Amino acid sequence: MTSEKPPLPADGEQNEAELGLGVEQEVVMETARDGWDSKVEYFLAQVGFSVGLGNVWRFPYLCHQNGGGAFILLYVLLMGLVGVPLFFLELAAGQSIRQGSIGVWRHISPKLVGIGYSSCVVCFFVALYYNVIIGWSIFYMGSSFQYPLPWENCPTEGNGTVKECAASSPTAYFWYRKALDITDSIDETGEFNYIITGCLLAAWVIVCLGMYKGIKSTGKVMYFSSVFPYVVLLCFLIRGVTLDGASEGIKFMFYPRLEIWGDVQVWRQAATQVFFALGLGFGSVIAYSSYNPRNNNCHRDAFTVSGVNFMTSVLATLVVFAVLGFRAKTIATECVKRNVKDLFKAGHSTSLPDLLINVSDVESITLDKYEEWYRIQGQQLNIPGYNITACSLEEELKQGVEGTGLAFIAFTEAMTLFPGSPFWSVLFFLMLLNLGLSTMFGTMAGILTPLTDTFKTLRKHKLLFTMCSCAVGFLIGLMFTQRCGNYFVTMFDDYSATLPLIIVVIFQTLSVAWVYGADRFLEDLKRMLGRPLPVVYKYLWKYVCPVAMLGLLGASLLKMILEHPTYTAWNREKASKEVLPYPGWAIAVLSTLICVAFLPVPIGYIHFFLLERLGQSPQDAEARYVPCATTDMDLTPLSMLPPSGDGPNSFSPLLQENNDYHLQNGHIEHFESSAL
């Protein structure tokens, strides 16, 4: 439809020169922007994105390694001072401007458009390897439908047990040899693992089906994928606390060691966990909130989602260490029985000193008694033909508690000790599958929403764009299904997102707090939400958050410079893990990942600068990018939106800028305009 440009409201008039538009306009009325069918769908989507696999295996590991309860207190402090304010900033920016990450930062300042593109690149990198983890979960879930579980016992070879399995454990052998068939180093590529390739294909098909209608289909899937993990966690918690050793595991987990507060790297790890737990910088938070009506209380949402995220991490930690406490006590108790039986046998063939324990009554010797005896007498014994070892509950708790080692080795081993182990195994890996999918939907939204908002052609072919994105993700993801693929997953997880996202969030915060103006932004939010917000946000956004993020960036860079990048490999001959340095070509790859993810930020600024030097206005420079229609589905009445100025029809700068308005039946309708 072509017509003259609709007039602006009387008190909000701006001349066309100020808007950077020509006299003649082509006005195209777009289909109203999609919106969530209910607040519940939106809330579940935000929770599903922020609560991911890291809550189940990364947070418990960090608590365990960094002071237990002391780390949790530090985490809460950083969550309140940095995490929640930045999370609220992204929610508010997306909801007020109603664009994806590219549109939001272009709207605030065209020279900052690269921030949005960097977010898209990082989301793409994360999606590539994250879906591989989902594929692993599918493989393990499928392998759980048999009794006994295939990782419960070592396979036989000839007349004996497979050497690699006997030297490690059945769960470690199944993970490294049966699931991954891993090579000894990243230099040895090996052929494709066809079973994992099939599982990766299944994972991408599920993601595509869940997103084929955008948030309309994703929102419905979230009712299950976001809620089901909590049902499973509660089931595991109820089962876990009844197990022998659960109390020891939980006590070991939460015992506070306050001295860790003096370690800079602990602060770095806590800040990084806050950063990734809330999904800051990905653009997914902005994408999801952009589908909200403008009068949604995003301030309350910021606290609610952050609170649910933290409580989920604590719940998962309780479950993990209740189960691992049971596993550790079972292993340590078996160790005590084995050693006591060896002492009893040795007593019949060798002259032993008077022992401080009664080796003839194995059942009477508790773990605590044995540990005390070993410390006083046992470690001094040297009996030919026998190896009397320490049996430490604490040492067992330290084994295999990080990342994939927790989920696919330690936890799977613990579940083999459960009655009805296949049932619990299916539940656990179905939970991991849903945790991964809900995060994956948000990650893909961080790619698809800003690009379809920005490019009209993509917006007209959303389904095709979604399918092509998933197909490209699968094809590139084949590099992770090689026998050395696990090492590339580790590389991407460690280096492709952390530094670029920290830089992105620093620029986001500075652009709102200093370029657009914190006072101006708070005033816009006051009009949008209908009430003033605490002025403390001004100081958090302007000073506390940038300083904290710069400190995190500095600590991360310092760690990379001082420590040569390494990865953990599996040595088949030794049947054990070993830490290896990345070869030169791998260093080049991970450096390229970091640079490619960050590069759009300076490129966007240089592009803007060159256009300015050529005499082209910022509006003309962006004319080729057509922002999406921002009509609210509910057509919010004018009376519901407080004015920004003296006139009744004057609205927030964030709502006015780069948009034209047409008043019809007392409602605001937005139209796209582009110069002829």
* 3 state SS for 93-116: HHHHHCCCHHHHHHHHCHHHHHHH
Please report, rounded to a whole number, the percentage of residues in the chain having pLDDT higher than 70.
85
Q: Are 266 and 74 in contact (CB under 8 A)?
A: yes
284 vs 34 pLDDT, higher one = 284
Say what the pLDDT of residue 401 is: 57
Please report which confidence band the pLDDT of residue 263 belongs to, taking 50, 70 and 90 as the band edges: confident
Q: Are 167 and 184 in contact (CB under 8 A)?
A: no
Phi, psi of 93 (to 5 degrees): -65, -45
Report for 347-351, 421-425, 617-621: range of highest mean pLDDT: 421-425
Whether the pLDDT of residue 673 is over 50: the answer is no
Please classify residue 571 by burial: count the beta carbons closer than 10 Å to its beta carbon, then call 0-12 exposed, 13-18 middle and 19+ buried.
middle
pLDDT tens readout for residues 627-646: 333 344 444 433 344 444 44
CA 251 to chain centre: 27
Q: If you compute the radius of gyration of the chain from its CA atoms, what whole number of angstroms results?
A: 29
Among 385, 358, 384, 388, which residue's Cα sits nearest to residue 374?
388
Q: Grade residue 403 by pLDDT with cuts at 50, 70 and 90.
A: low
- Choose the weakest-confidence range: 149-163, 217-231, 419-433, 657-671: 657-671
Q: Which residues are annotated as a binding site for Na(+)?
A: 48, 51, 55, 309, 435
Place of tokens 């690009």: 451
Looking at per-residue pLDDT, the higher value among 244 and 604 belongs to 604
Q: For position 398, what pLDDT does the model report?
A: 65
- 569 close to 582: Cβ distance less than 8 angstroms: no
Res 625 pLDDT > 50:
no
- What proportion of the chain, given as a percentage, has pLDDT over 90? 33
pLDDT tens sequence across 572-618: 888 888 889 999 999 999 899 999 998 999 999 898 888 888 876 55
What is the average per-residue pLDDT within 258-264? 77
pLDDT of residue 468 exceeding 90:
yes
Calculate the average pLDDT of the chain.
80
State residue 22's pLDDT score.
35
Question: Bigger pLDDT: 580 or 561?
Answer: 580
The reply to whether the predicted model has a pTM over 0.85 is: no
**Cα-to-chain-centroid distance, residue 408:** 18
> Range with the lowest mean pLDDT among 43-57, 97-111, 539-553, 635-649?
635-649
Instruction: Cite the annotated binding site by residue number.
Output: 48, 51, 55, 309, 435
Q: CB neighbours of 539 closer than 8 A, spacing ≥ 6?
A: none
| Cβ-based neighbour number of residue 649 at 10 Å | 18
Length of the chain equals 676
